[in-house]
Amino acid sequence: MMKTWVRSGMILSAAALLMCVVVPAYGGEEKEKAEGEKAAIESPVIKCPVSGRPVQLALSAEYKEGKVYFCCPACVEKFKSDSEPFAEAADAQLKAIGAGAKVNQFACPMCSKPHKTAVKRPLKKGLLGVKLAEVYFCCDDCATAFEKEDDKAATEKLESVLTSQTACPFDGKPIDVEVSAEYKGRKIFFCCKDCVKEFEKDKDGVLAKLKDGAGFTGGIKAEKAEEGKKGEPATEDEK
Q: What is the pLDDT of residue 24?
A: 30
Is pLDDT larger for residue 225 or for residue 178? Answer: 178
pLDDT at 39 over 50: no
Choice among 42-51, 125-134, 193-202, 228-237 with the minimum mean pLDDT: 228-237
pLDDT at 25 over 70: no
Q: What is the pLDDT of residue 208?
A: 66
- Domain extents in the chain: 56-101+164-238, 107-160
Is pLDDT larger for residue 164 or for residue 5? Answer: 164
Please write the tens of the pLDDT for every residue from 49-91.
Answer: 998 888 889 999 999 878 999 988 999 999 999 999 999 999 9
Contact 59, 70 (CB under 8 A): yes
pLDDT at 38 over 50: no
Q: Give me the mean pLDDT over the 173-200 stretch.
A: 88
Say what the pTM is.
0.67
The C-alpha atoms of residue 158 and residue 30 are separated, in whole angstroms, by 32
122 in helix, strand or coil? strand
Q: What is the pLDDT of residue 19?
A: 29
Contact 61, 80 (CB under 8 A): yes
Q: From residue 200, how far is each of 80, 149, 153, 174 by CA, in Å? A: 31, 38, 35, 20
Q: From residue 23, how far is each of 14, 18, 27, 29, 36 by CA, in Å? A: 14, 8, 6, 10, 20
Q: From residue 45, how far is each of 73, 75, 152, 187, 229 by CA, in Å? A: 20, 17, 24, 17, 29
pLDDT at 113 over 80: yes
Please write the tens of the pLDDT for every residue from 140-153.
Answer: 999 999 999 998 89
Residues of the chain with pLDDT > 90, as a percent, come to: 36
What average pLDDT does the structure give for the chain?
74
Q: Give me the mean pLDDT over the 13-38 stretch.
A: 38
pLDDT at 127 over 50: yes
